[in-house]
Structure 1
């Protein structure tokens, strides 16, 4: 037994020595003062080096969890995750800050960043520069963003971030309403009248003052007619006619194929079902208004030059004819 114990001892020492030779012992990073770590993190944020900023802020929170910069570092970490395109980590950091510091002076900033992260999460490169209809996509991130902005406005209406959050909520409201109409139109084509009517009623009751409301009323009227609920159908149509007199009613359900459609494989012989309205983005509206003002100014300058060249003779004749 004694030779066996000696052999076991030799093998154990050999293994320990091998671990040290292979770098088993790691060098411990020297302690960095809290102020220095925080300054380095801020410098990285100012230089748009968000990866380095995240590393410094995480190290600061790990080594000085109760330091004077701990709470501020958690806020800066949310922003760094957001700018580094890490939405999952940004939302998790925001939730953690809200849970740990419910009475913090800057908790409204955490709510705002959480909503902004979800707002930008599903906006791809192509959606920013191409006119894609994002309302047909899954609205999960839009719902999360809407809820975060809503919590911010309800709890901190005087926050400096409230005006921007309110504008973004209006955009999200339009998008969510249009998504509901897309789903309702799908149900109409599948003759699921009850589901379509419920989607339309949800828009009318909960998402008012959106471009999708007239489509919702039209869907409700058509779905209730198919269900034989003529009183509800008439009420929906009366509300639609009273509030949107210029709305052109078209059927949302899929028409049965005619003989001409069958013979031409659907190319001729029938009208397509109505398509839901698409909310016009604010950037497109501003661009259209600016173009209209430019065209009006150009036309006014052209008329003024013509008046000067003709000494106002033709302008006077035009005014007299009017």
Structure 2
């Protein structure tokens, strides 16, 4: 009986220890809760800011701070690398506020969030350039920034969006170049030519487009196609690396 009692006490102790691992946000007025969230944002304490903002969002979903809380959450999620939550919050905000005065910023943040999804912790940690990884997040980010420029050409975020589009275009071109090289190494000459032509059509002003000419020439040479090979060599002369 004593052993059973000690076991039960130990279980209660362990459960009590587990229950204190997550901070419970006190029940305070929304103005005070929002003030602490803003202070955490200013200090770069993203986890604390997110806790306060999520609490506000759940306790007062239609309160005076509702729209700003969601905007702050979009930013805090991005800074904290909670990218899926950030994108979900952006979708929710757009549904509820289709013509908001900060719609350009929200679209800009969607681009940043998707651009961040294109990298990984391991790539950052070891400084690895894996341009052959799936570029779908980069492609979506490119379209977000393009849409921003089309809808809000005078936005304060337009210049930065345009600069990011240049980076993303090179990222997408490098992926296509890696795919072309993959086909070359496996002797898939026609597939390599088609991919190289895609690079030159869609990403003509990139380094990858000039690199792809070498691979295209290799494929034409292997196929014994002299005329397109000569044309490609001329293009290589006109577009040196």
Is the TM value for this pair above 0.5?
Answer: yes
TM-score after normalising by structure 1: 0.61
1:73-94 superposed Cα distances (whole Å, 9 cap, x missing partner): 1110011111112111112112
Query: In the superposition, relative to structure 1, how do residues 191 and 80 fare at CA in structure 2: closer, same or farther (>3 Å)?
Result: same
**Structure label with greater radius of gyration:** 1
Query: 1:241 is matched with which residue: 234, 237, 240?
Result: 237
1:54 and 1:147 map into 2 onto residues whose CA distance is 28
1:60 aligns with 2:44: no
Conserved? CA contact 2:118–2:135, under 8 Å: no
1:46 aligns with 2:46: no
**Higher RCO (Cα < 8 Å, 6 or more apart):** 2
1:227 and 1:153 map into 2 onto residues whose CA distance is 43
Alignment-derived partner of residue 135 in structure 2:
139
What is the aligned-residue RMSD (CA, Å)?
A: 2.8
Query: 2:79 is matched with which residue: 80, 83, 88?
Result: 83
1:167 aligns with 2:167: no
Alignment-derived partner of residue 190 in structure 2:
194
1:153 aligns with 2:145: no
Alignment-derived partner of residue 69 in structure 2:
73
TM-score after normalising by structure 2: 0.79
1:218-247 superposed Cα distances (whole Å, 9 cap, x missing partner): 323332444455444443333332233xx5
Q: How many residues align?
A: 220
What 5-or-longer segments of structure 2 have no aligned partner? 1-24
Q: Secondary structure at the match of 1:55?
A: helix
1:67-116 superposed Cα distances (whole Å, 9 cap, x missing partner): 23211111100111111121111121122222332211111211222222
2:122 and 2:44 map into 1 onto residues whose CA distance is 23
What 5-or-longer segments of structure 1 have no aligned partner? 1-28, 248-322
Query: 1:109 is matched with which residue: 93, 105, 111?
Result: 105
Q: Secondary structure at the match of 1:135?
A: coil
2:139 and 2:214 map into 1 onto residues whose CA distance is 25
Deviation at 1:132? 3.1
